[in-house]
Structure 1
Amino acid sequence: MNERRQIERRLADPRPLSVSALADLSLDALDHGLFEAITARITQAIAAGAKDARLYQILGLARRGVLDGRGAVAAFEHAVRLAPKDALVAHGLARSTWEAGIPATAFYDRALRLAPTDASMLVGRAAALVAEQRGNDAIAAMTSILEENPGWHEGHAAYARIHAASRMTGDGTATVRAALARYPGDPSLWRLLLSMLLDARRYVEATEMARAASSRLGEQQEWRRVEAIGLSEAGEAEAAQRLFDRLTLTNSAAGLIRPLRNLIRMGRFDEATAMAERAFPMQEEVILWPYRSLLWRLVEDDRWHWLEGNPRLVGVYDLGLSAQEIAALADMLRALHRRSGEFLDQSVRGGTQTDGNLLARAEPEIRQLRDVLLEAVSAHIAQLPPAVVGHPTLIDPRAPVRIAGAWSVRLSGAGFHVDHVHPQGWLSSAFYVALPNGTNQASQEGWLAFGECRDILPTLDGFRQVEPAAGRLVLFPSTMWHGTRPFPAGERMTVAFDIARP
């Protein structure tokens, strides 16, 4: 915190700096999220006559930081004009253009001419092709690259994401399976395939492939762990527990989650509570809070009231957008969903989810929505109870307010969200844009339910339900279990975002 304050003071100091010194200071400020201060200082220097690609490049990164898509693109355009042969600057323009929702493939092509083998550019170009409804071209390009570079793990993972986002038929793990056929003794490829299968919730296949890895490479704890996870998530808790009992627990919070889930499934709540209450550094421990919440409610431990019982943690706000504004937003989002798919490791069932940070897009409907949402978030934070030592939500400080990610989900038919949490965020949200006509209040079709995790505790009822309404925003702790009840038919469309932990 002291370092952050020192950088803030230096940025606010009106005394002139050399371009190099200002660039170095601004790069340090980027690490601390001081995007507004960077923008003010660099804009001042540019107005005074500074013309340097680095300053425009850093300005573009600062505008990306506050989700100003058009501002980021404009800054990188200036940087490219001043440094036309700089591959990093060209990549910045391509990426910010894609994030703003503007066709970006041509910009990626230009950047790749400067750095033809840059992995992140190759992945970015594929995402840009999908955004332009050229999913077949993206798949073909990634397949060709991976045939030549079968050890490119990031590329295999990107292929799977693109395959899902493009709603392609076939198997999103095809490229890594092809690589394994060529190099069956490579444990890193086995590890990657197993991880992808778990992310895709293909638990029976994950179990089978973990056994195949043991046959090929020899019995190892990591293969047995995947087999146990696959059995547990596929509903074979007792068989999974026999394997978990033979494993050495990893000394990390993340390593406890799967065996913890299995203990809960088996009703061994005392053991599960002891495991969930193990202490870790705060940033690591955050993934355990949702399970502590479930277990404390199950055994009627008063600590649940300390954690989630205060009603001010959940806020329900009707934002006052007109019917015409909501209809225009819905039309814009539908156009995005026509070229979106279902992501592998997300909670959507029976619907589509947009790619990229939705609130960084440059469309006027999105820019208006972003402003209204952030205003509501600030009001919600202001009404939260005071800070509590050790609490995952009631923290101090509570600024700056930054959107960590944003997306839209469109559900149809009997679509719903499975119960889940957002451990990478501080606060999470649901903003309702479109809903089916004539939903049944008695059955709470499509309602947002808090405190349920039906996957491992199917009989535990939630502690609060919120009725959806077009133009309504719900804000809640990111560590709080939430999901939606299915509805029989119709369209349900939302915007969701996470606020980053300050």
Structure 2
Amino acid sequence: MKAQGDLRGAAACYAQAVAARPDSAVAEHNLASVLGDLNDFAGAAAAAARAIAKGGDAPETWLVRGRALQGLGELDAADDALATAVARRPDYAVAHRDLAQLRWMRSADVGHALTAIERAPSTAALTQVKATVLMEAGDDDRAAAVLRAALASEPGHVGLRLLAAQVAARLGDAEGQLAQASAALRAASASIEAAKAVAEALLHAGRAGEAAALAARIVAAVPDDQGAIAVQATAWRLIGDPRYVALCEDPALVSVTTIETPAGWADLGAFLTDLTSELATRHRWRTHPLEQSVRHGSQTQEDLAQLDVPVVRALFAALDAPIRAHIAGLGSGTDPVRRRVAADYRFAGAWSVRLSPGGFHSDHVHPRGWLSSAFYVALPEAVEREPEGWLALGRPGITTQPALGPVRHIRPRPGQLVLFPSYLWHGTEPFAGEASRLSVAFDLLPA
């Protein structure tokens, strides 16, 4: 049931397992894990505590408990639980990443974020976490040095090579990026991620024709990988291939709609005010999470589509009509969006972002999505000044030679929903002033 996405059914089965084996710590752990996936953080924390009380002292259980406590906003207790997980297994990279991210988002202090990792054994997995934190803090030179030292010991490690390629790209070193990505592909010739990294490096090196040829092979192997489609589209744009226009500039692929006022509110402004208040309680971070597009802002860490809060449920109910209208307006076709149209859709994650003045989203795509979105809740006055705080479409989030700009800007308005293909590069422009910019985003998949 869990593998099929039926988390509530899985939770019911795990609860039956707990009832059948009341002394089983494993049964409690499994229940805690799926309750966490359901955003039932109180239930997950309680089940994890019962698992521990029944003798389940595994680091995995402390990780589940730490995540649940973080979801409840009990951040000190979450820190303690995650620290216990890494104490139980000092090289537990998944728990180290969660702990480092929690500390980073709370403090914006890279030294504090890396405290536990600095005391842990030196492994390739932990080096990747450390380098990722350094990159998020903007210390690319130090990240490069950490990766260089690790690769001296493990030259064939694909993950280290791919991160080294990313750092080289950020430092403007196209030759180094291509060398690192190529080494990763030689070490894992079947790796889609390594192949995409080589294609991106070729674009940085000004070899768009070669990148297009490689991207075509990648897309043929993984036709729904939105990152691969984005690389191919970028190569097409650089070489003047007319297929780029059909793939990225077709007007039907992007829709802009204002939602109807949900039932129970006098007008849309009143609804957005209540939604703003609810989301504000969930933005408890000083800075952005790891490996996301947010810069100078915060991002919620729970799936809003699973949240059982009236104003949030009302939002997703109000989003249904414009989503269905957008999908209906696509029509049929063989392109990467239309060929996947199905009888229904489902949410594949939803979150909120609050950008501070000067904040922005770096340009990015959603590799595992189909349709992506931006819904605007509260906006600063700065959006009156084009293009401050505006949505930018089409500007690659990878370095290209020559550089490419956006193909379209969309001015955000409160209550407005923008839908677009997940492979379409998108980001936001920085904005000035004193007010923040609050939005909700989600990915959709066919169902």
* Residues 306-363 of structure 1: CA deviation (Å, up to 9, x unaligned): 3223211111110022211110000110111135751111000110100120121111
Per the alignment, residue 269 of structure 2 pairs with 323
Whole-angstrom distance in 2 between the partners of 1:128 and 1:386: 42
Whole-angstrom distance in 1 between the partners of 2:30 and 2:278: 27
User: Aligned to 2:196, what secondary structure does the other structure show?
Assistant: helix
Q: 1:102 to 1:340 in 2, by over 3 A?
A: farther
Deviation at 1:415, TM superposition (A): 0.8
Decide which of 174, 177, 182 is 2:118's aligned counterpart.
177
Per the alignment, residue 211 of structure 2 pairs with 272
Whole-angstrom distance in 1 between the partners of 2:67 and 2:214: 40
Whole-angstrom distance in 2 between the partners of 1:382 and 1:205: 49
Per the alignment, residue 46 of structure 1 pairs with none
Decide which of 118, 134, 144 is 2:84's aligned counterpart.
144
Matched, 1:472 2:394: no
- Give the alignment's TM-score, normalised by structure 1: 0.76
Decide which of 298, 310, 331 is 2:250's aligned counterpart.
310
Per the alignment, residue 290 of structure 1 pairs with 230
Whole-angstrom distance in 2 between the partners of 1:90 and 1:229: 36
Deviation at 1:198, TM superposition (A): 5.7
Which is further off, 477-486 or 370-379?
Answer: 370-379
Q: Structure 2 counterpart of 1:258, which letter?
A: A
Decide which of 375, 380, 389 is 1:446's aligned counterpart.
389
Deviation at 1:420, TM superposition (A): 0.4
Per the alignment, residue 381 of structure 2 pairs with 437
Q: Structure 2 counterpart of 1:448, which letter?
A: L
- Give the alignment's TM-score, normalised by structure 2: 0.85
Matched, 1:500 2:440: no
Are the counterparts in 1 of residues 140 and 170 from structure 2 also a CA contact under 8 Å?
Answer: yes
Q: Structure 1 counterpart of 2:371, which letter?
A: L
Q: 1:430 to 1:330 in 2, by over 3 A?
A: same
User: Aligned to 2:296, what secondary structure does the other structure show?
Assistant: strand
Q: 1:122 to 1:450 in 2, by over 3 A?
A: same
Q: 1:450 to 1:151 in 2, by over 3 A?
A: same
Whole-angstrom distance in 2 between the partners of 1:361 and 1:225: 35
Whole-angstrom distance in 1 between the partners of 2:414 and 2:61: 38
Q: Structure 2 counterpart of 1:450, which letter?
A: L
Decide which of 157, 164, 168 is 1:231's aligned counterpart.
168
Whole-angstrom distance in 2 between the partners of 1:202 and 1:438: 30
Per the alignment, residue 125 of structure 1 pairs with 65
User: Aligned to 2:107, what secondary structure does the other structure show?
Assistant: coil
Q: 1:111 to 1:483 in 2, by over 3 A?
A: same
User: Aligned to 1:449, what secondary structure does the other structure show?
Assistant: strand
* Residues 71-100 of structure 1: CA deviation (Å, up to 9, x unaligned): x8xx98898678755653675367537844
What aligned pairs does 1:40-439 form with structure 2 within 5 A after superposition?
A: 59-61=8-10, 85=23, 87-88=26-27, 91-92=30-31, 96=35, 99-100=38-39, 103-104=42-43, 105-114=45-54, 116-167=56-107, 169=109, 170-180=111-121, 184=122, 186-190=123-127, 193-194=130-131, 202-215=139-152, 217=153, 219-220=155-156, 222=158, 226-241=163-178, 248-249=185-186, 250-279=189-218, 280-282=220-222, 285-321=225-261, 322-339=268-285, 341-388=287-334, 391-437=335-381, 439=383
Are the counterparts in 2 of residues 422 and 478 from structure 1 also a CA contact under 8 Å?
Answer: yes
Please list every run of 5 or more consecutive structure 2 residues that lacks an aligned counterpart in the other structure.
Answer: 262-267
Q: 1:333 to 1:173 in 2, by over 3 A?
A: same
Please list every run of 5 or more consecutive structure 1 residues that lacks an aligned counterpart in the other structure.
Answer: 1-26, 36-57, 63-71
Per the alignment, residue 265 of structure 2 pairs with none
Per the alignment, residue 15 of structure 1 pairs with none
Whole-angstrom distance in 2 between the partners of 1:370 and 1:76: 28
Whole-angstrom distance in 2 between the partners of 1:156 and 1:428: 30
Greater C-alpha radius of gyration: 1
Deviation at 1:213, TM superposition (A): 1.8
Per the alignment, residue 38 of structure 1 pairs with none
Per the alignment, residue 9 of structure 1 pairs with none
Query: Percent of pairs identical after alignment?
Result: 31
Are the counterparts in 2 of residues 84 and 90 from structure 1 also a CA contact under 8 Å?
Answer: no
Deviation at 1:293, TM superposition (A): 1.3
Whole-angstrom distance in 1 between the partners of 2:338 and 2:55: 46
Q: Structure 2 counterpart of 1:456, which letter?
A: T
Which is further off, 318-327 or 221-230?
Answer: 221-230
